[in-house]
Amino acid sequence: MSSVEAFDAVDLIRTKRDHGELTTDQIGWLVDAYTRGYVADEQMSAMTMAIFLNGMTRREIRDLTMAMIASGERMDFSGLGKPTTDKHSTGGVGDKITLPLMPLVASFGVAVPQLSGRGLGHTGGTLDKLESIPGWRAELSNDEMFAQLRDVGGVICAAGAGLAPADKKLYALRDITGTVEAIPLIASSIMSKKIAEGTGALVLDVKFGSGAFLTDIERSRELARTMVELGEDAGVATSALLTNMNVPLGLTIGNANEVRESVEVLAGGGPADVRELTIALAREMLELAGVTDADVEQALDDGRAMDTWRASIRAQGGDPDAPMPVAKEQHVVTADRDGVLVRQEALPFGIAAWRLGAGRARKEDPVQHAAGIDLHAKPGDEVRAGQPLFTLHADEPARFARALESVEGAWEIADAGAEVQDGGPLIADRIGR
C-alpha cells in the first residue's frame, strides 16, 4: 500500500531555485525522503546546485544539520564519567595534527572520541596515515570505542555507518556534481557527524590558503562562523581557529612519513609549525572541556602524551615499535643556486604526493603507505647550491615524472633579504565565545 508523501520534491527545488526559504518540515522531509530513496539523485543534484547558487539562512542550515543527524544514530558518552572533546580539520597538505593531538589531550583525563576519514584528492586522510602502522585497524564497534575511551582516554577510528547516513549519500553526490564548496552543505556535513558523535566540546581547525579546501580567508571565516553557530545551537561548546595552509604543514607529506613526524612531536621534537598548532588546538580543546590549567607543552616534553599514543596504537592492534614502510624508489631535488627559499606552495606539493601514490582518485583506490614527499627546507631557510630541497618517495619510479610536473614553479629561491611568501602567521584568527 503506497503512503502519501508530505511534499513534492519539484516544489521544494523550485522554491530554492527562486531564492525562497524552505520550512523546517520541508527540509526534514527532503533529507528523510532522499535517505530512503524516494527523492532521486537527479532531484537532490538540482537541490544542491540551487543551495550552492542561492545559499541558506542560519535557520535552514540548522534544520538541514538536525535532519541529517536524525537520519541515523546518536552516540552518548555520558556514561564515561569524564568530559569529551574533539577536533575537526577541514584538511590540508601535511596536516597530521590529529595524530599527536589526540593523545596529548587525552593525557589530561579528557576523553577524545576522534572519528576520522580517508583522504580524497590532495588532502590526506587520518585513517590512511595510521594504517601504515603494521596491524593497526580503523574499524571499531561502538563497544570497542567506548572501552578504549574509558581505558586509554582517546581513540582515532572510522565513523560507523549508523552516524548521519544522509550525509554519506549527500557527500558522494556533491563530489560528482560540482557542489562540494557550498558553505551550507560543508557546514551541515561536518557538523551533523560531529554532533551525532556525541562530543561535549568541539574545536574546528578551518584552513585557508593555496592548499586548503576553501582558499579565500573570508570564505573560510564564514564557514567557521557557520559551524560554530551550529555547534552552539546544538548545545556543543564550539570554537574555531583559522589556520594558514599556503605552505605545507611540517616537513612530510604522505602517510608513513607523516606518522614518523607525529611521533617526533610526541617525543618533544618535530617541526616548529606542527608543534605550535598541536599545542594551540590542545589548549583550545581542554579549555572548552573545562580544563583550564593544563601545561600542554610539559605533557609533550615529559612523555605523557607519548605513553597515551602507544597505548592507543596497541589497543587497535598496531605495533608502535614496528618499522614503518619505506618506499622502493627515491628522487632528490636539489637547489640550483645559493640563496633563501622564499616560496613553497602547498597545493602543488599535495598533488605531487597524491600522484606518487599517497592519495586516491576514487574512494575505492588503495593508497601506497610509503609514498610521499620529505621537505628539507621551509620558506625563510637559507639554502646552498646542490643542497637537497625535497625528496620524492614512490614504489614505482614511473610516478616521478608526473609528480615533478605538478611542483614545477611551486617553489622559488631568491637572494638573501628577499621577501618570504608564506602567507602570514600560522593561526590567523579565533572564532567562538
Active site annotation includes 174: yes
Report d(CA 419, CA 341) in Å as an integer: 10
Instruction: Answer with the residue of higher pLDDT: 125 or 387.
Output: 387
Residue 75 above 50 pLDDT? yes
Active site annotation includes 167: yes
Query: Which structural domains are found in the chain, ordered by start?
Result: 9-55 (1.20.970.10), 78-322 (3.40.1030.10), 329-414 (3.90.1170.30)
> For 18-25, what is the mean pLDDT?
98
Instruction: Answer with the residue of higher pLDDT: 403 or 172.
Output: 403
Note the pLDDT tens digit of each residue in 345-383. 999 999 999 999 998 766 677 889 999 999 999 999 999
Note the pLDDT tens digit of each residue in 235-248. 999 999 999 999 99
The pLDDT mean for the chain works out to 94
User: What is the strand order of the sheet 388-394 is part of?
Assistant: 252-254, 372-375, 388-394, 329-334
Percent of the chain surpassing pLDDT 70? 97
pLDDT of res. 117: 80
What confidence tier does 433 reach under pLDDT thresholds 50, 70, 90? confident
> For 412-416, what is the mean pLDDT?
95
pLDDT of res. 120: 62
Residue 87 above 90 pLDDT? yes
Active site annotation includes 189: yes
- Number of other CB atoms surrounding residue 396 within 10 Å: 13
pLDDT of res. 102: 98
The one catalytic residue in 87, 118, 122, 174 is: 174
pLDDT of res. 1: 44
Report d(CA 243, CA 5) in Å as an integer: 45
Residue 220 above 70 pLDDT? yes
Residue 121 above 70 pLDDT? no
The one catalytic residue in 118, 129, 193, 275 is: 193
Q: Which residue has the cell 607543552?
A: 297
What confidence tier does 23 reach under pLDDT thresholds 50, 70, 90? very high
Report d(CA 270, CA 291) in Å as an integer: 25
pLDDT of res. 207: 96
Tell me whether strands 85-89 and 201-208 are parallel, antiparallel or unpaired: parallel
The one catalytic residue in 86, 95, 128, 167 is: 167
Note the pLDDT tens digit of each residue in 295-344. 999 999 999 999 999 999 999 999 999 999 999 999 999 999 999 999 99
* 77 contacts: CB under 8 Å, gap ≥ 6: 84, 111, 113, 146, 149, 198, 199, 200
pLDDT of res. 423: 79
pLDDT of res. 303: 94
* 137 contacts: CB under 8 Å, gap ≥ 6: 131, 316, 317, 318
Torsion of CA 244, 249, 250, 251, to 10 degrees: -130
The one catalytic residue in 132, 188, 189, 262 is: 189
Q: pTM (2 decimals)? A: 0.94
Active site annotation includes 88: yes
The one catalytic residue in 16, 62, 88, 360 is: 88
Residue 129 above 60 pLDDT? yes
Residue 19 above 80 pLDDT? yes
Instruction: Answer with the residue of higher pLDDT: 429 or 174.
Output: 429
Q: Which residue has the cell 530513496?
A: 37
> For 116-122, what is the mean pLDDT?
72
pLDDT of res. 363: 66
Q: Do 88 and 190 form a contact (C-beta atoms < 8 A)?
A: yes
